[in-house]
Amino acid sequence: MVGITSLMIVGKFEEIYPPILKDYVSVCDNAYTKQEILDMEARILDCIRFDLCQCSSVQFLDIF
Report domain extents, the chain: 2-63
The pLDDT tens digits for 2-61 are 999 999 999 998 899 999 999 999 999 999 999 999 999 999 999 999 988 877 777 778
State the Cα torsion 16-62-46-35 to the nearest 10°. Answer: 30
pLDDT score recorded for residue 33: 96
Q: What's the CATH number of domain 2-63, 2.40.37.10, 1.10.472.10, 3.40.50.2300, 3.60.15.10?
A: 1.10.472.10
Is the pTM of the predicted complex or chain greater than 0.75?
yes
Q: Is 31 exposed, middle or buried (0-12, 13-18, 19+ CB in 10 A)?
A: exposed
